[in-house]
Amino acid sequence: MSTHIEASEGDIADAVLLPGDPLRAQHIAERFLENARCYNRVRGMLGFTGTYRGVPVSVQGTGMGQPSLSIYATELFRFYGVQKAVRVGTCGALRADGKLREVVIASGACSDSALLSQRFGRLHFAPVADFALLNAARLAAEREGVPCRVGLVASSDLFYDDNENWRLWAKYGVLGVEMESAELYTLAARFGRQALAILTVSDNVATGEGIGAQERENGFDAAARLALEAATALPAQSAGNDNPGSKPAECGV
């Protein structure tokens, strides 16, 4: 039991999917997991554990924004020993050619958040995805015929951004804006765990197009499937417990 998660030790799997919306966590558990059991209802931030193709997997809501995700990801890494964390969420495309419902696999996440400056001061840290998870997700997308792009996203603290910071990110090739991935990648580095974000384009910031609230809640099964395939594809590559630094991916030659 931790401050925001009422699960007992052993209730949460090594691999966890992290949707922002707790109702999406319930949807993923009901649609994709076998024998799913709810382990958390604190603050309505639902968490479930079941199996996917026989492998234990959990799915935990994180809420919106980096401070909220930070609480859940820290507790999962620190108190429940979670090894692989895969965010499944939405993003706004930043380029006019970014298509609604397309999947963006975030190789790295820029941010405007004070969380990074609180930790690193005048230094800059580059929050990046775990390569093995990213590669597994990309291969699953190829196998399942899911159109996807791999590239940078930006995790902003502002959903309603009067300054339109996204324009500068777009100029530098950032594919999408969302609100959580940079903190997830930073925490994974801090705890020496594996993390990835798989995002479905729910709107296009450049053109103003978007999809409805109902589809946002339940319509992203392709990304959830890729996340489950990636999270269960390989054994965890964790270097161990608290702060060993993340382990570099090994490439066979």
Residue 92 interacts with ligand HPA (CB under 6 A): yes or no: yes
Which range in 22-30, 85-93, 138-146, 218-226 contacts ligand HPA by CB under 6 A?
A: 85-93
Site string for ligand HPA, 142-171 (x = CB under 6 A): --------------x--x------------
Q: How far apart are CA 167 and CA 165, in angstroms?
A: 5
220 token code pair: 């992203």
Please give the residues from 170 up to 199 whose contact with ligand HPA meets the rule CB under 6 A.
177-179
The answer to whether residues 101 and 216 touch, using CB atoms and an 8 Å cutoff, is: no
* Tokens standing for residue 98: 């970014």
The CB density around residue 138, as the number of other CB atoms within 10 Å, is 18
| Helix axes 22-32 and 221-233, enclosed angle (nearest 10) | 70
Binder among 21, 102, 183, 203 for ligand HPA (CB under 6 A): 203
CB 39 within 8 A of CB 47: yes
Closest residue to bound ligand HPA by CB: 92
106 binds ligand HPA (CB under 6 A): no
Of the listed 130, 203, 221, 242, which one is catalytic?
A: 203
Q: Rule CB under 6 A: which residues touch ligand HPA?
A: 90-92, 156, 159, 177-179, 202-203, 205
